[in-house]
Amino acid sequence: MPRIIVTGAGGRLGAALVREWNTAGLDVIGFGRQELDLAQPEQMRRALEAVEFGVLVNCAAQTNVDRCETERDEAMRINADAVRTLAEICKAKGARCVQISTDYVFDGAKTSPYTEEDPVVPISHYGESKRAGELAVLEVSDNNLAVRVSWVFGPDRPSFVDGIVKRALTEEKVEAIADKIAVPTYTLDAARLLKPFLFDVPVGGVLHLCNGGSCTWQEYGQYALDCAVEAGMPLKARTVGPLKMTDLKAFIAKRPPNTAMSTARLTKLTGVHPRDWREAVREYIAKHVAVKP
């Protein structure tokens, strides 16, 4: 089987893909920012021209939504221009390029789950730059794939779920946003769900990939605390109070209110139904959060 390159291998999703696919017996090489910096096109070319591979999965990105709002040129360079360069390098090598994208390409006004056919209307510069990255990768080859994930969590880098449990261990009161809905994506599930699309189902276009169901940040946090209590963690706060998006004065970029995504295309192509986000969060807390000293 041809080799897989994962860029952004030091990040939450990239690290999980490298480890899980290596464990599954695939030939995977991960490139972190040191080896492959998306801000340096020549270094990108040198790094990739030296290796043979059949597919590249780009997990590297400027993922700080508020920084993208203030550093717009940088966001476009990393999340779009560099993605085109990656896709062109892949094309020259006869390899496919799989770009990891985001639910933030939507404006969040829809009240039912977004499908791949729904129009994209980014409301932040992060969303705009990631949409430009999708278009770049899809323009370079029809075989390339843009995979939209949302609310990524997993053992390789802390995220919302780790943060709320940590706060509940020391604070009497914790709160989370109750007027924003999306679907959590567990990185270990993402590795399993994405694996068929590497070689067995080499479709192009856009694909939504996340766990099943949907929730608000408050529901997500509450379920994480319930699981932590069940796993024996000595929490001080056991209830997550509601916040409105407008309460968070630190937010610079606008966040889309409802970006729950439908994974019907993924199921149609693979026969796999992603498990509900609650099952994934429960397993994550028991195996990776509750066991920490």
Give me the active site residues, please. 126
Nearest distance from residue 234's CB to ligand NAP, in Å? 28
Alpha carbon distance 61, 70 (integer Å): 16
Q: Which of 23, 24, 27, 39 binds ligand NAP (CB under 6 A)?
A: 39
Q: Which of 11, 30, 122, 221 binds ligand NAP (CB under 6 A)?
A: 11
Q: Work out whether 62 is an interface residue with ligand NAP (CB under 6 A).
A: yes
Structure tokens at 129: 């730059």
Q: Work out whether 48 is an interface residue with ligand NAP (CB under 6 A).
A: no
Q: Which of 48, 89, 97, 152 binds ligand NAP (CB under 6 A)?
A: 152
C-alpha of 49 from chain center: 27
Q: Work out whether 102 is an interface residue with ligand NAP (CB under 6 A).
A: yes
Nearest distance from residue 103's CB to ligand NAP, in Å? 6
Q: Which of 28, 38, 55, 280 binds ligand NAP (CB under 6 A)?
A: 38
Chain positions 77 to 96 lying near ligand NAP, rule: CB under 6 A, are 78
Q: Work out whether 59 is an interface residue with ligand NAP (CB under 6 A).
A: yes
**Residue nearer to ligand NAP on the CB measure, 33 or 192:** 33
CB 59 within 8 A of CB 8: yes
User: Hey, what's the torsion of the CAs at 128, 131, 133, 135, to 10 degrees?
Assistant: -130
Nearest distance from residue 150's CB to ligand NAP, in Å? 5
C-alpha of 92 from chain center: 27
Task: Give the three-state DSSP class for 85.
Answer: helix
Task: Give the three-state DSSP class for 242.
Answer: strand
DSSP calls for 36-68: --TT-HHHHHHHHHTS--SEEEE------HHHH
Chain positions 185 to 244 lying near ligand NAP, rule: CB under 6 A, are none
Q: Work out whether 127 is an interface residue with ligand NAP (CB under 6 A).
A: no
Q: Work out whether 259 is an interface residue with ligand NAP (CB under 6 A).
A: no
CB 175 within 8 A of CB 217: no
Chain positions 157 to 176 lying near ligand NAP, rule: CB under 6 A, are 157
Q: Using CB atoms within 10 A of its CB, is residue 290 exposed (0-12), middle (13-18) or buried (19+)?
A: middle
Binding site for ligand NAP (CB under 6 A): 8, 10-14, 33, 36-39, 59-63, 78, 100, 102-103, 130, 149-152, 157
